[in-house]
Structure 1
Amino acid sequence: MGWVACWFIPAILQVVRKHLCLRHDLRGFDGGPSACSRKGCVSLSSCSEAVSMSKVLPAADTLPTVGKKLLKGRRYGLIAHGASITSRGKLILEFLEDAGIEPPQVIFTPEHGLFGEYAYMEPVPSDEKGWRGVPIISLYGSSFESLAPPQRTLSNLDCLVFDLQDIGARYYTYLATMAISMEACARAGVQFVVLDRPNPIGLSDIEGNIPKPYLRSFVSYLDVPNRHGLTAGEVARFFAYKRGLDLDLLVVECAGLVRPMQLPDTSLPFCPPSPNINDFECALLYPGLCLLEGTNLSEGRGTTTPFKVFGAPFIEDPFAFCARLNEFGLEGVAFKPLFFVPKYDKWAGKRCGGVQAVVLDRRKIKPLLVGLCIVWTAMHIYREGFQWRREPYEFEERWLACDLLFGDETIKTLIEMATSPFEVYEYMNAQSKSFVEESRDFFIYPDSV
């Protein structure tokens, strides 16, 4: 970046304010009937039998009622995975059969495959025999082009149904799969139906910046912050608007969901949506700990606690590293020193000094800030060992993985030059102020009952 960075980065650091935290301002949003009557939304609350079953219900629970009317006599495809379950833990493919609905013409699977059997960035094969004779087409192959449903397949469908469990982070790739599929359906003139699910880490808090258009990739495909505070259905509506899609979009909403709810508030079971998100706390920490994928620090892959532990062999004294992190006094989290040996991925078979992030208060923790504090501290303490990841990342070779994850190539320089990670956090949050205002028009769920 040369002389531009020398002038521009310090200028940024002078104008950011300390400890800025953005929250959705829900004033003026009527979460009553209008939230259900908005064009392109179907309310689950009309299904009285279903509502009595659970506090919150995913849209998949509508299949015996709304789903039957929507899919009867239609040729449809289904984007699903192992976490596409009902409130009672029934896999959607089995639930369709139980509801007396004809099976889909084709099943599309995202990264990690139908049952989460493939590692991250591992190509997922298609399967002509598929699920009980229904062919399975992979939406995660060996190239960026493989991420979209083939037009020749869409030409034989009336609608495409999406039911994947997101975890509320821009770089968690399932909503990028949704967005790319929406674009493909718009080109093919095929209706796109979202069976909505709760965002497990809640809808009240956002953190982060909006990616720069020229850094668009599979982990920065959406114009949303790192922690976006939306459901899949809300993201679909926002994305269709931002991209000006000529698309017949229908969102079947959840029942009983309000914005402050996190998964533990819903009474719904946690079903791991991917191999390394094995519980709620993994999902909660992911918007911050995923940034470590852009470095040579292990993010805990190859251990039983991915996205909770992190470290590297060059961290010889994890107690000192841990003490520095605890000095930040971050709300809702504490750091505990440890050693671990990853069985695969970064530093496989090598003893790593590291730290475990212990969630103390799920409502107060700011996971993106946690991740920035980890990266900033590791970079400034271990200057000889810390490195940005250089290998190709998610089909992209032109940019570093950290640039794609940040969505802004200047942030790594900010981290290098900032006197504290809070300065970087303030810079990132300040960029998403417009998103707070703009996204409100696409909310489906109210702030309270």
Structure 2
Amino acid sequence: MKVLTGLDILVNDSEIQKSFKGNIGLLCNNASVDATFSHAILKFKKIFDSRFIKVFGPQHGFSTDAQDNMIETDHCIHPYFNIPIYSLYSETRTPTDKMLEDIDHLFVDLQDIGCRTYTYIYTLTLLLEKCANKNIEIIVLDRPNPINGVDIEGNILEKEFKSFIGLYPIPMRHGMTIGEVAIMHQTFWSKEKANLKVIKMQHWKRAMYFEDTKLPWILPSPNLARAESTCTFPTTVLFEGTNLSEGRGTTQPLEIFGHPNIEPYSYFENNLKQALKESKLKGFTVRPITFIPTFHKQYNKICGGFQIHITDKKTFQPWRAGQFIMKEIYHYLGSDFTWKTPPYEYNYTQLPIDILNGTDKLRYWIENNGNIETLDSFEDLKDYKLKFNEIKLY
């Protein structure tokens, strides 16, 4: 049965619509569409008419056309809708008092991808914190976790490595929907509580991947054109912290990675294939490729590398795969492999790989050529799972 998102529920229930009597704001982007591919703004204009007064956009902008790290978007008046659009990835990541003026109900309709380093959940939690002392109701229109709501993987972020790609002690693959993130924030992380409401989905089951929902996939950020890419994201996003390309500037970003000094076939046949076999990691294979990024890292250079092909989503562990492959390539490339230097996501002091990982211990594990059994010791998920089970909506 087709999943109905929070937006679908709102659009099709006039009684729910009538419960919101004041002025309306909406935090959304390109992927904020209903089951008929109609954008949320079109629906809000029809439902709330002149009471719909402001729009907010997250990282990558309302139009989802700005690239990755620290590429800010401007505030504007939309030329068609004729309402202000405020960027929450600009000179500020938190809405100002002026931006929030005259709003009574602020809806949030963003497609998260289930990974700690994806910033939309932090745009939401900063909004909740800002509105804790205001008479503004925050309504999250829930959407699926595209990599399922059961599997949890990765180390817990350490507080000294907090950043805009990791504000709270959660694992890389957190298992929550964006509505559940809001509840987790209000239950465990926020000192002051906002007026929060979550409009739940219907027919969503925790074991679903995005293709199981029968919903349309609209890219939520410029380099996630396919739902399949969300499954490899927890693997390949780690390469943002290195001089390797993670495929930005190609037609398969965040599914491929590489470097000009990798000869992919010889490296695969003579080294990587056996290392992956011995690791006993399952559910995927890597295929040697060459590619040329048209922008971003390694621009216009022929890169040798690999595409990750998932053969069994149920056994694929993307965080483990990413850490292990990075370790192997670090030692294969030697001095040609470098860690990216700051700034990264408004952090001007710590190495990007450390804030991506939420710890420096994994970098040391890579540099010291640690084994796969030691990697397992970085996961301590008991406390997180207790909290997770307390806030689950589905």
User: Aligned partners of 1:394 and 1:406: how far apart in 2?
Assistant: 13
Q: Which amino acid aligns with 2:59?
A: E
- Report the counterpart of residue 250 of structure 1 in structure 2: 197
User: Aligned partners of 2:248 and 2:78: how far apart in 1?
Assistant: 32
Of 201, 206, 213 in structure 1, the residue corresponding to residue 152 of structure 2 is 206
User: Aligned partners of 2:37 and 2:234: how far apart in 1?
Assistant: 26
Q: Which amino acid aligns with 1:271?
A: I
Query: Shift in Å at residue 67 of structure 1?
Result: 4.4
- Report the counterpart of residue 185 of structure 2 in structure 1: 239
SS in 2 for 1:383: helix
- Report the counterpart of residue 54 of structure 2 in structure 1: 106
Instruction: Decide whether aligned partners of structure 1 residues 289 and 317 sit closer, same or farther in structure 2, where only a CA change above 3 A counts.
Output: closer
Instruction: Decide whether aligned partners of structure 1 residues 130 and 427 sit closer, same or farther in structure 2, where only a CA change above 3 A counts.
Output: farther
Q: Percent identity?
A: 32
Following superposition of structure 1 onto structure 2, how do residues 3-14 of structure 1 map, counting pairs within 5 Å? none
Q: Which amino acid aligns with 2:134?
A: A
Following superposition of structure 1 onto structure 2, how do residues 321-360 of structure 1 map, counting pairs within 5 Å? 321=268, 322-324=272-274, 326-327=276-277, 328-360=279-311
Query: Shift in Å at residue 104 of structure 1?
Result: 2.3
- Is residue 306 of structure 1 aligned with residue 256 of structure 2? no
Query: Shift in Å at residue 211 of structure 1?
Result: 1.3
- Report the counterpart of residue 442 of structure 1 in structure 2: 391
Q: Which amino acid aligns with 2:383?
A: S
In the superposition, the TM-score normalised over structure 1's length comes to 0.82
In the superposition, the TM-score normalised over structure 2's length comes to 0.94
Of 127, 134, 148 in structure 2, the residue corresponding to residue 188 of structure 1 is 134
- Is residue 92 of structure 1 aligned with residue 92 of structure 2? no
Q: Is the 8 A contact 1:159 1:191 kept in 2?
A: yes
Q: Is the 8 A contact 2:144 2:204 kept in 1?
A: yes
- Is residue 147 of structure 1 aligned with residue 98 of structure 2? no
User: Aligned partners of 1:245 and 1:291: how far apart in 2?
Assistant: 33
Of 340, 349, 356 in structure 2, the residue corresponding to residue 389 of structure 1 is 340
Query: Shift in Å at residue 411 of structure 1?
Result: 1.9
Q: Is the 8 A contact 2:283 2:310 kept in 1?
A: yes
SS in 2 for 1:236: helix
- Is residue 363 of structure 1 aligned with residue 324 of structure 2? no
Query: Shift in Å at residue 90 of structure 1?
Result: 1.4
For structure 2, the 5+ residue unaligned runs are: none
Query: Shift in Å at residue 250 of structure 1?
Result: 0.5
Instruction: Decide whether aligned partners of structure 1 residues 267 and 416 sit closer, same or farther in structure 2, where only a CA change above 3 A counts.
Output: same
User: Aligned partners of 2:334 and 2:217: how far apart in 1?
Assistant: 39
Query: Shift in Å at residue 318 of structure 1?
Result: 4.1
SS in 2 for 1:382: helix
- Report the counterpart of residue 123 of structure 1 in structure 2: 72
For CA contacts below 8 A with separation 6 or more, give which structure has more relative contact order: 1
Of 405, 409, 429 in structure 1, the residue corresponding to residue 356 of structure 2 is 405
Q: Is the 8 A contact 1:151 1:188 kept in 2?
A: no
For structure 1, the 5+ residue unaligned runs are: 1-53
User: Aligned partners of 1:341 and 1:324: how far apart in 2?
Assistant: 27
Of 209, 215, 219 in structure 2, the residue corresponding to residue 268 of structure 1 is 215
Following superposition of structure 1 onto structure 2, how do residues 12-23 of structure 1 map, counting pairs within 5 Å? none
